[in-house]
Amino acid sequence: MASTIDQILRQATQQLAASSPSPRLDAEVLIMHVTGFTRSALITRAQELLSPEISEQLHGLLARRAHGEPVAYLTGWREFWSLALNVAPDVLIPRPETELLVEQALARIPGDSVWTIADLGTGSGAIALAIARERPHCRVIATDASEAALAIARANAIRMEITNVEFRHGEWLEPLADEVLDMIVSNPPYIAEQDPHLAQGDVRFEPRRALVAGADGLSAIRVIARAARRHLRRGSFLLLEHGFDQAQTVREILIGQGYAAVATCMDLQNLPRVCLGMA
């Protein structure tokens, strides 16, 4: 028997209650995805019946979400810095806390500047595209060791008509050759290999290479901090996202590599999330 949108929404919320921290929101997003409705339409059209085809598609997505698959992978997109980014299991899902990295970078890039900026480990292109859109005269180089990730990032840039980003394949700074840069930003992997959170929630389905960085989670940050100095102009900044409990160690790494003006920036939850240093 066919069900109304309201009935399906209530059933879906109950179905996801045991597996999702936000079952109602997840249910709404998935219903909007398969129907094309807005959130307000879920209310105004609550008594409409869904077709058998739409209902079958939705039930399949709900079953996958109940199994733990991230909503962003099920819908194929995630919003970041007001950009609608296509995502897939080849890339990390952009998270709201990473917007702090973009915010801190933009605070240091003059609005009319023609800087050359690198985003290391770009994934979906979230950071690079956000900076490139806000600073259209800058040249942004986005690197990633995954060709599959770069394909997604390139497609996002083309779809959004952001043309001041170039994408290069390779590990961290290796694709930069002799480039001299005015800023480097990165949200590298920073989870320790044995961290129990790797077996929980959405991260179970995300690419491990974009999450894990050695025994203490800081091996990528050490590599970037050491290599970045060879590319940064004197007085320019390296900005790194890290775990909320890693700020002191990341500052020590930056100081140990000779960076000046080393500082930590707090996110909206007042957690230390970004460290920066001046070359």
- In 255-278, which positions are buried (b, 16+ CB within 10 angstroms) versus exposed (e)? eebebeebeebebeeeebbbbbbb
**Cα(100)–Cα(111) distance, integer angstroms:** 18
Both tokens assigned to 90: 């080849």
Mean pLDDT value across residues 135-149 = 98
Q: How far apart are CA 257 and CA 178, in angstroms?
A: 20
| pLDDT at residue 191, as a whole number | 92
The CATH number of the domain covering residues in 77-278: 3.40.50.150
pLDDT tens profile 154-200: 999 999 999 999 999 999 999 998 999 999 999 999 998 988 888 88
Average pLDDT of the chain is 94
Q: What is the pLDDT of residues 206-249, one digit of tens each?
A: 999 999 989 999 999 999 999 999 999 999 999 999 999 999 99
Q: How confident is the model at residue 50 (pLDDT cuts 50, 70, 90)?
A: confident
Looking at the chain, the whole-number percentage of residues with pLDDT higher than 90 is 84
Report the share of the chain in percent with pLDDT over 70: 99
pLDDT-derived band at 202 (thresholds 50, 70, 90) equals confident
Residue 1 pLDDT: 54
Query: Is residue 99 predicted with pLDDT exceeding 60?
Result: yes
Domain range list for the chain:
5-68, 77-278
Residue 2 has pLDDT above 70, yes or no: no
CATH 1.10.645.10 fits domain 5-68: no
- The per-residue pLDDT for 164 is 98
